[in-house]
Structure 1
Amino acid sequence: MPNTDREVHLRKAVLWLQKKDPTTKKIIQTIGPCTHKMIGNPYYVLIRSVISQQLSVQAARTMENRVKEYYGNGKQFPKPDVLVKLTKPQMRKAGLSFAKIEAVKLISKAYLDGSISDRKLSKLNDQEVLDLLCSIKGVGPWTAEMVLMFSLDRWDHFSYNDLILRKSIENNYGIPMNSKKEILEFTSGYSPYRTIFSWYLWRASVGIENL
């Protein structure tokens, strides 16, 4: 949607969330207007998210920058035809584990053979995107959800697999971070704006400032 329409829709979403409960209202008032934005095309977010798996924000950014510096142009990730030709020792130089190297190569191959494309992903519904991406070894629900939330601009997702989100739920709402059923039931009440709710939960956590 055009930026102006999106901004209006975003403001409506925030107003809706503010009416949910006093805790959510306080979080929103503390953080201020939502500036949730897309960070890149699906290919970029997919590779970036694979690299970020199970890493701190700082460690993930360091590794991401190394991949861009060593194999891209310093600002962008290398394209699939470049990544697929890199050897494991070359990619290990950037700090990627063998599992991440395999996942990155499989993603690159999928883009090259056309089984995945940014255009195709943009036309699929949310569940179809999750199913397609999770069919690639090394791409789990969290990685696929990051593509939905930060590239395809889908607004109704909460990632239980995101440790920071679960900690934020526990800290702000008192629900134990490992109580999957309770957390998913609770966050379902924030549909159709669970992505926007998640953005505020991330921002309410220490060290998450650039979403």
Structure 2
Amino acid sequence: MDRDARLRKAVLWLKKKDPKLKRIIERVGPCTLTMMGRPYPVLLRAVISQQLSNKAAATMMDRVKEYYGNGKNFPDAKTLAGLSVVKLRKAGLSVAKSETLRRIANAYLDGSISDRKLSKLQDQEVLDLLCGIKGIGPWTAEMVLMFSLDRWDHFSLNDLILRKGIQRNYGIDENSKKEILEFTAGFSPYRTIVCWYLWRDHAAGI
């Protein structure tokens, strides 16, 4: 069964699982969950995007690619590791984010992280490895898990939009993380797809 067929099967399962989720799915339409690329660029993208609007993040990413990459892609690990914080600051990045990007590049250079290694690890192992780098928090690591490694069974508890979506649709307080985690466990093994629909539902302002 190819990925599109498995995705349709997952959505059908979710529609049968929960009537409220069924209504969200029918409002949003077919799931078009796609991957953003290899872990390395997705990780850089997630770090830059932390606590920024989509527009501001896109501007900074474009600058990093233009100034230090080839215009379309981020600089490779060797190039990035060789950039000073001062240079990265010229792209609009904060000192903290500049330092984090350099740490990621060095981790790739010394082999403690690689795209291949990440692809072979279990979900929690991926999160533990990435969060072991200063400046990478759970949300950033989760974005790699969900949008690069194509793991379908993860609910990003650290994403406020998702917690608000659960509160709006199911009445569970957005700050009751334990309760949200217990509730969303019922959507396993397709929790990532639930996240995708809650994000899209929010974006549509429905």
Q: Name the TM tier (shorter chain).
A: over 0.9
SS at match of 2:156: coil
Partner of 1:150: 147
Please list the CA deviations of residues 16-72 of structure 1 after superposition, one character each: whole Å capped at 9, or x if unmatched: 110122210001011111010101100011110011111122221121111111111
Any gaps of 5 or more consecutive residues in structure 1? none
Query: What is aligned with 2:42?
Result: 45
1:119 matched residue in structure 2 = 116
Could you tell me how far apart the structure 1 residues matched to 2:80 and 2:31 are?
A: 35
Report the number of matched residues: 205
Partner of 2:174: 177
Root-mean-square deviation (CA, aligned residues, Å) is: 1.3
Residue 174 of structure 1: CA displacement?
Answer: 2.2
Structure 1 residues 81-92: aligned runs within 5 Å: 81-92=78-89
For 1:9, the equivalent position in structure 2 comes to 6
For residues 162 and 142 of structure 1, the distance between their equivalents in structure 2, rounded to whole angstroms, comes to: 7
Paired residues for 1:34-73 under 5 Å: 34-73=31-70
Supply the distance in 1 between the matched residues of 2:174 and 2:56 (Cα, whole angstroms). 23
- Match of 2:14, as an amino acid? L
1:164 has 2:161 as partner? yes
Partners in 2 of 1:96 and 1:113 — Cα distance?
Answer: 24
Shift of 1:156: 0.5
CA distance in 1, matches of 2:58, 2:161: 16
Q: Secondary structure at the match of 1:19?
A: helix
Q: What per-residue deviation string (whole Å, max 9, x for no partner) do you get for residues 99-128 of structure 1?
A: 111111110001011111101111111111
| Amino acid corresponding to residue 165 of structure 1 in structure 2 | L
Q: Which 4+ stretches in 1 moved above 6 angstroms?
A: none
2:65 maps to a residue whose letter is K
2:17 corresponds to which of 20, 23, 41: 20
Q: Which amino acid aligns with 1:44?
A: P
Q: Which residue pairs with 2:136 in the alignment? A: 139
Q: TM-score, normalised by structure 2?
A: 0.95
TM-score normalised by L of structure 1 = 0.93
Deviation at 1:207, TM superposition (A): 6.2
